[in-house]
Structure 1
Amino acid sequence: MQREETSRDPMDDQFPPKKGPTFCSLRYGLCLLLHLCNVVTVSQNVCLSLTMLAMVNRTEPRGLPNASAEDLLDSVKGTTLTAQHVIWVKWAPPLEQGRLTSMSISGSVLGPFIALLLTGFICQSLGWPMVFYIFGACGCALSLVWFALYHDNPEAHPCISVAERDFITASLAGQVSSSGHTLPIRAMLRSLPVWVISLTSFAYFWMMRIIIFYSPMFISSNLHTEVQENGMLSALPYLFGWILSFLSGPMADCFLARNILSMLTVRKLFTTLGLLLPAVFSVCLASAGSSIQSVVVFLVLTNATTSFCTVGMLINPLDIAPRYYGFLKGMTILIGMTGGLISTTVTGIILDQDPESSWFKIFFLMAAINVTSLILYLIFAKAEIQDWAKERQHTRL
């Protein structure tokens, strides 16, 4: 007896569903878990900047005394950032990539807020060693939760609903896979879009390293505050940055879903906002003097506006080479971390040699690097799959 075939409309594959289970879905639960991972990872890193002041009990501007520990933590942070971007290749529908990425990475902005706010109180009441015990214990606990709940793709997860699984797989049905193919290293190295993404990543990490690690020192040297008050003032800008991180993703997805702006325009717009505005506000911050109102306002504006980069150059590698996104993202983050490491050395030298006008030089140099990389990005950036990423492609069905 011949088996009856179920009729199927071929147009269903061409136009996958645009909507599916949202905030109560597993992928948003995964987004929340990644958000918490970023909170803890960055908190472990940032608490050093304020704890150092309590350790050595001084307020004069100097280079950070234990840069090797920070460099180690930075490498861990870079690995975490690379891994979570690769996760969204398999878990995020195309029209939700902006919001899921920005919502998860926004934990990197909430982390400094929590770390700086609590570190001051912990140092005053329990002593600075307890800072590392507390944040370290949180990291260990969250790691156990991550290993228990995370699965590589929607098809392998035992708790996902059928509706959500079908929605994600249908949305990603035309996504190409890089399995079984060698990496086109030479083509990547000759690609201008890859290089401008790398340069903006260099500028972004340079900027964030200075903002995160040297804000407490800037406040201490300019406003002469105690550790607890310093922590509160240093933490405040990250609260506004966290809010803006949550808003930038849905804004970008809205522009794309309603065809208001093209993908390339969205990437260039948010990269411009995320690099140019902090450059302007940081120069204003260096000129603010000892006015606490001006310092706080410009600190908030400088920090918060960096969040626009989340849906700009930080996610741009996914547009130009989805097959090689993991490798390409890792490469750009590695170059970016190099910028962060160099910024620490340069900033320490400037602080030691020129204590009078050091902060203006530090922020002006940061602004110059931001603007230079942004100009090159606006000229050479692309948002479509590059030819070297299309070669020998096969579709994952």
Structure 2
Amino acid sequence: MIVKNCCRDATSEIRSRYLSICELVTTVFLIPQRYVLGVMGFLAIINSYTMRVSISVAITEMVPPKNSSSHKSDICSYSDSGSSTTNSVTGTTYPALNALLANWVPKQERGRIGALIYAGNQMGTIVSNLISGQLIEATRDWASVFFLFGSLGIVWFVLWQLLCYSDPDSHPFISESEKLYLRREVESVTLKKKKYIPWKKICTNMPVVALVAAQIGHDWGFYMMTTDLPKYMKGVLKFNVADNGIWSSIPYVSMYVISMFCGWFCDWLIRKDYLSVTMARKYFTTVASVGPAIFLVAASYSGCNRALSITMFTTAMGFMGAFYCGMKINALDLSPNYAATVMGIENTAGAITGIVTPYLAGVLTPDQTLTQWREVFWIAFGVFFATNIFYLIFASGEIQEFNNEKQSDDGGEK
């Protein structure tokens, strides 16, 4: 009996100290926990894309240049040219983050928090492009970038385990006011237990199919820029590896700034009832499709003018920043309960373009000439327009019927 009482007292004391620590940590955090999740999600995407993009920069040094047989008038000539696919990396990142956002982000904050998180791919691309080229030139070893970004990924993982939780109720550091706010705003459209996934209804739902089409359009353009822009900078504009990394990052700075502004602007338009959720998603997705389509083609007609080419690429990527408050968070509108599943479907379809576009660019540009690259950009133009038209016709910002699908007694759909 004495031992049992001592154990009970010790347990109570430990629990009391734990709660005291949690209260102390809660007062230390100056921003709501949903924004802490947003920042950590932002860093998660950065981590994924630094590892992805560093390959695109490093591969220009892994693979020796090919002797060209094309006419010299179609090839840029500069004096500083002598410096000597990981789609699976982000395969689970986006669906996992979408599942968390469904539990943490109210409808009226999806634009800015979604843009904050998904803008991590631009920042990851910027950081990787800026650092990779300089690091390779300094160390004379292309493998150095993988050691650096891999180590930073481990640091992020430790912080993620300490700071982020599946839902507000399980979070030890969240304030009571924020927990009550999220219960009121988020739990009204989410189910705590989902025993099955209505695959047939999800896969045949036209707004979901439209979302998949828009994702293919976005990923076609984005992966083409991510994997092929460093090749264009080196093969056509003849930048060396250090300058290649710097100049290849400039378009993503534009995309990052525009994406953050569009996230705030989109939420403002919805909050003021100037646009419905559906119209807001369609509008910003269209901006993010038409702008890049036009300016990527314009870049191919810039010839060997480095400044004009970079300006065109920067403008194209700036427009693409509007995707994140458009189609990228649309899965949360359609189904908070199955947002991760919908994101997984669209992300899988989009990831295929990450395989197709580098291969297609390689086949179409064996000699790295302006004319050959122009074909690549015109194809991107067609993909952007076709997928956007489909999205405009069938997209929706309303919760779909399958979101509240229940299971019948025999285990089937009801």
The bucket for the TM-score relative to the shorter chain is 0.7 to 0.9
2:58 equivalent in structure 1: 51
- Normalising to structure 2: TM-score of the pair? 0.83
Q: Does residue 309 in structure 1 map to residue 323 in structure 2? A: yes
Q: Does residue 257 in structure 1 map to residue 257 in structure 2? A: no
Asked whether the equivalents of residues 303 and 370 of structure 2 are also in contact (C-alpha less than 8 Å), the reply is no
What is the letter of the counterpart of residue 128 of structure 2? Answer: A
- Aligned pairs for 1:100-119 (under 5 A) are 100-119=113-132
1:297 equivalent in structure 2: 311
Q: Does residue 150 in structure 1 map to residue 178 in structure 2? A: no
- Aligned pairs for 1:1-397 (under 5 A) are 24-58=31-65, 70=85, 73-127=86-140, 128-177=142-191, 179-352=193-366, 355=369, 357-392=371-406
| In structure 2, C-alpha distance between the alignment counterparts of 1:354 and 1:192, rounded to whole Å | 40
Q: Return the offset for 1:180.
A: 3.9
Asked whether the equivalents of residues 60 and 221 of structure 1 are also in contact (C-alpha less than 8 Å), the reply is no
| In structure 1, C-alpha distance between the alignment counterparts of 2:380 and 2:369, rounded to whole Å | 17
| In structure 2, C-alpha distance between the alignment counterparts of 1:200 and 1:171, rounded to whole Å | 28
What is the letter of the counterpart of residue 296 of structure 2? Answer: S
C-alpha RMSD of the superposition: 1.9
Q: Return the offset for 1:354.
A: 8.0
Asked whether the equivalents of residues 34 and 104 of structure 1 are also in contact (C-alpha less than 8 Å), the reply is yes
1:72-120 Cα shifts (integer Å, max 9, x gaps): x211213111111111101112111111111111111011111111111
What is the letter of the counterpart of residue 81 of structure 1? Answer: Y
1:164-207 Cα shifts (integer Å, max 9, x gaps): 11111111131131724432222223222111111111121111
| In structure 1, C-alpha distance between the alignment counterparts of 2:368 and 2:64, rounded to whole Å | 21
What is the letter of the counterpart of residue 253 of structure 1? Answer: D
SS of corresponding position for 1:183: coil
Identity %: 25
SS of corresponding position for 1:317: helix
Q: Return the offset for 1:339.
A: 2.1
1:244-289 Cα shifts (integer Å, max 9, x gaps): 1211111111011111111111000010011111001100011111
1:332-379 Cα shifts (integer Å, max 9, x gaps): 110111122122222221123884521111011011011001111111
1:132-161 Cα shifts (integer Å, max 9, x gaps): 111111111111111122111111111111
Asked whether the equivalents of residues 59 and 220 of structure 1 are also in contact (C-alpha less than 8 Å), the reply is no
Q: Return the offset for 1:384.
A: 1.2
| Residues 42 and 59 of structure 1, relative CA distance in 2, 3 Å threshold | farther
| Residues 347 and 158 of structure 1, relative CA distance in 2, 3 Å threshold | same
| In structure 2, C-alpha distance between the alignment counterparts of 1:121 and 1:57, rounded to whole Å | 19
| In structure 2, C-alpha distance between the alignment counterparts of 1:331 and 1:173, rounded to whole Å | 24
| In structure 2, C-alpha distance between the alignment counterparts of 1:184 and 1:36, rounded to whole Å | 32
What is the letter of the counterpart of residue 112 of structure 1? Answer: T
Asked whether the equivalents of residues 99 and 250 of structure 1 are also in contact (C-alpha less than 8 Å), the reply is yes
SS of corresponding position for 1:223: coil
| Residues 23 and 149 of structure 1, relative CA distance in 2, 3 Å threshold | closer
1:43-64 Cα shifts (integer Å, max 9, x gaps): 1110111111122353779xxx
Q: Where do 5+ consecutive residues of structure 1 fail to align?
A: 1-21, 62-69
Q: Return the offset for 1:331.
A: 0.6
| Residues 60 and 98 of structure 1, relative CA distance in 2, 3 Å threshold | farther
| In structure 2, C-alpha distance between the alignment counterparts of 1:92 and 1:36, rounded to whole Å | 17
Asked whether the equivalents of residues 228 and 358 of structure 2 are also in contact (C-alpha less than 8 Å), the reply is no
SS of corresponding position for 1:219: helix
SS of corresponding position for 1:322: coil
| Residues 330 and 281 of structure 1, relative CA distance in 2, 3 Å threshold | same
What is the letter of the counterpart of residue 177 of structure 2? Answer: A
| Residues 348 and 57 of structure 1, relative CA distance in 2, 3 Å threshold | closer
SS of corresponding position for 2:87: helix
What is the letter of the counterpart of residue 234 of structure 1? Answer: S
What is the letter of the counterpart of residue 126 of structure 1? Answer: T
Q: Return the offset for 1:307.
A: 1.3
Q: Where do 5+ consecutive residues of structure 2 fail to align?
A: 1-28, 69-84, 408-414
| In structure 2, C-alpha distance between the alignment counterparts of 1:31 and 1:230, rounded to whole Å | 31
| In structure 2, C-alpha distance between the alignment counterparts of 1:235 and 1:173, rounded to whole Å | 40
Asked whether the equivalents of residues 202 and 340 of structure 1 are also in contact (C-alpha less than 8 Å), the reply is no
Asked whether the equivalents of residues 252 and 266 of structure 1 are also in contact (C-alpha less than 8 Å), the reply is yes
| In structure 1, C-alpha distance between the alignment counterparts of 2:246 and 2:367, rounded to whole Å | 29
Asked whether the equivalents of residues 38 and 104 of structure 1 are also in contact (C-alpha less than 8 Å), the reply is yes
- Normalising to structure 1: TM-score of the pair? 0.87
| In structure 1, C-alpha distance between the alignment counterparts of 2:314 and 2:370, rounded to whole Å | 24
